[in-house]
Amino acid sequence: MAIYTAGYASGIASSNPAELAYATDRLKDEHEALREKLRMIEHSAKELILIDDLAKGIQLVQALKELSDQFMDELEQHAGWEEKELFPFLFTYFDRQPQPSMMPSFWVLEKDHQLGLSFIQSFQEAILDAASFVVKKQLADAAAHLVQACLILNDHITMEEQLIFPLTENVLTDLESFFS
């Protein structure tokens, strides 16, 4: 999620209330899908931490690798949409308002996003050669990276919603007042 601040003249920024409502619904839907995938990853990672059978642990590591790869792809697609459409509109709209800047809040979201991804990457680096795992502790240590990533990214999604939803409600209220 890179912070975007340049002007934006199409799509959501056209100030169409229906488009903004659609964007808000899309944000909710995509966040729920991401949260569901995080729940699956976290559950499997916790299972891996507790597993006693090394062979089953290695199989679970491979499944977690695939699941975390899918999650990262979905997260990057979602973040790309936010960067290209949603955030530019909000920056453009609220840049015109006489209030404090939203940039520090978006900066914190960006850092959380990066931190969560770094824990997933740490897991993936730790399991590059899963067949070489000889002790359960190595599996548990690798899985702990994913658990931490899940905690951070769940918090990230919640913080993003706590920032974005009131902003979009404010815009919709303004637009309703303007068009009524």
Higher confidence at residue 128 or residue 97? Answer: 128
SS3 of the chain: the string is CCCCCCCCCCHHHHCCHHHHHHHHHHHHHHHHHHHHHHHHHHHHHHHHHHCCCHHHHHHHHHHHHHHHHHHHHHHHHHHHHHHHHHHHHHHHHHHCCCCCCCHHHHHHHHHHHHHHHHHHHHHHHHCCCHHHCCCHHHHHHHHHHHHHHHHHHHHHHHHHHHHHHHHHHHHHHHHHHHHC
Mean pLDDT over 78-88 rounds to 90
Question: Phi and psi at residue 56, in whole multiples of 5°?
Answer: -65, -35
Q: Is the pLDDT of residue 84 over 80?
A: yes
Q: How far is CA 176 from the centre of its chain?
A: 30
- Choice among 3-7, 34-38, 85-89, 109-113 with the minimum mean pLDDT: 3-7
Q: pLDDT tens digits for 86-124?
A: 888 887 777 655 455 566 677 788 888 999 999 999 999
Q: Cβ distance 49 to 143 under 8 Å? A: yes
Q: d(Cα 157, Cα 151) in Å, to the nearest integer?
A: 10
pLDDT at 137: 82
pLDDT recorded at residue 31: 97
Does residue 76 have a pLDDT over 90? Answer: yes
Q: What is the pLDDT confidence band of residue 1, given thresholds at 50, 70 and 90?
A: very low
Task: Write down the pLDDT at residue 4.
Answer: 39
State the pTM of this model: 0.80
pLDDT in tens, 137-165: 888 899 999 999 999 999 999 999 998 89
Residue 14 has pLDDT above 80, yes or no: no
State residue 114's pLDDT score: 93
* pLDDT of amino acid 13: 47
